[in-house]
Amino acid sequence: MNALTGTLDPLTIDPTADSDEPPVVRLNAVTKRFGVTAALDGVSLSIRRGEILGLIGRSGAGKSTLIRCLNGLERPDSGEVEVDGRSIVGLGERELQPLRRRIGMIFQHFNLLSAKTVADNIALPLKIEGQKRAARVARVAELLDLVGLADKGGAYPAQLSGGQKQRVGIARALAARPALLLSDEATSALDPETTDSILSLLKDINRALDLTILLITHEMGAVRAIADRVAVLDDGRIVEQGPVWRVFATPRAATTRSLLRAFQPSLPAALVARLVPGRGRRTVLKVVVVGDQAREPLLAELALAVGARASLLHGGVDTVQGRAVGALFLELDGRNETSFAAALEFLRQRASEVEALGHVVDDD
């Protein structure tokens, strides 16, 4: 805990530490360099069975390299990579092939074969695997129904919308019943309405099949919509990870705060312009409250408990992963130091984060 601001210091947590079930994916201190550049720099990450993990980062953060290390297309310089309980570091190409079939992948630009029908595109992994035609036909019909394209098996990719093409890509990725689905910027080329439908489909598939999904994206909205946890990759390092609601409520790393800026209330520019550092007669605080505390009459309780007067300047309460998350900007009377200190202590006991932004300069 930072004693000055009341915020939590940066921290990452391994969600599988207290779990008896082995994770579907485990990376331990993975490093990959290209020349003098470290694309991955000591990355450790675990994904539980049936979990959706959002991996987010700006372009060049290392997301593509991480994917290629997961499917064996790149070999890390050091560290361990395990998929479905098996270490893949050091495996030859022949040994990697059956393991890759345990990893389904969907892409930003769909990667469908234009000369093949929808049904043939979906059946391709099964044909490569050597399954008989009757088994392929039955599996394709099952998958077309699952993704809502039961009547499109005979169509060609050029006859489909972008959302329909991505549904075909999802069906193809599921054909071989993978243990892990990698979604690599799968909604980046789609309009917002279609994006929502694809994310909803992925969540439905996750629940119905208990399928583990790694959602690689630069869109925090996609993570918020369906992910259970989020990990933030910056300059080849995991700088923050945790439940989506927690990260959205109290982002700890500077990169996370920047990526989340559009999703969090901010003080109006006119008020920011009047703030100066330190504490004065009227101090402005940012207070983050989560869960039941976000629904409590905080200002009334503050006045009753310590006699301090505070005004709500800006902010509101949202819901993330079913939890109420509030970001409130308060103006607190700071003339009485004892009362001010008692008010800060009261707020810190009830809030996830309390930050003094400065004090208001009165108009002349």
- Look up the CATH number of the domain holding residue 247: 3.40.50.300
Answer yes or no: do 44 and 58 share one domain: yes
Of the candidates 217, 234, 262, which is a domain's last residue?
262
Band of pLDDT at residue 279, cut at 50, 70 and 90: low
Please give the structure tokens belonging to residue 355: 């930050």
Residue 248 within any structural domain of the chain: yes
Answer yes or no: do 290 and 255 share one domain: no
Answer yes or no: do 300 and 237 share one domain: no
Which has the minimum average pLDDT: 3-7, 47-51, 86-90?
3-7
Answer yes or no: do 271 and 356 share one domain: yes
Q: Which class for 125: exposed (0-12), middle (13-18), buried (19 or more C-beta within 10 A)?
A: buried
- Name the residue among 51, 95, 96 with its Cα closest to residue 71: 96
Please give the structure tokens belonging to residue 321: 């992963």
Mean pLDDT, residues 15-26:
72
Band of pLDDT at residue 8, cut at 50, 70 and 90: very low
Answer yes or no: do 355 and 270 share one domain: yes
Which has the minimum average pLDDT: 52-56, 65-69, 102-106, 314-318?
314-318
Provide the pLDDT for residue 4.
Answer: 31
Of the candidates 231, 262, 293, which is a domain's last residue?
262
Residue 161 within any structural domain of the chain: no
Answer yes or no: do 82 and 49 share one domain: yes
Answer yes or no: do 52 and 197 share one domain: yes
Q: What is the pLDDT of residues 245-266, one digit of tens each?
A: 999 998 999 999 999 888 888 8
Q: Are 319 and 283 in contact (CB under 8 A)?
A: no
Is 90 exceeded by the pLDDT of residue 171? yes
- Name the residue among 178, 212, 209 with its Cα closest to residue 49: 212
| Number of separate domains in the chain | 2
Q: Is the dihedral of CA 206, 212, 216, 218 positive or negative?
A: positive
Q: What is the pLDDT of residues 79-121, one digit of tens each?
A: 999 998 889 998 888 888 888 888 999 998 899 999 999 999 9
Task: Name the residue range of residue 230's domain.
Answer: 25-102+178-262
Answer yes or no: do 255 and 321 share one domain: no
Residue 171 within any structural domain of the chain: no
Answer yes or no: do 189 and 332 share one domain: no
Residue 209 within any structural domain of the chain: yes
Q: In this structure, what are the phi and psi dihedrals at residue 82, rounded to the nearest 5 degrees?
A: -120, 135
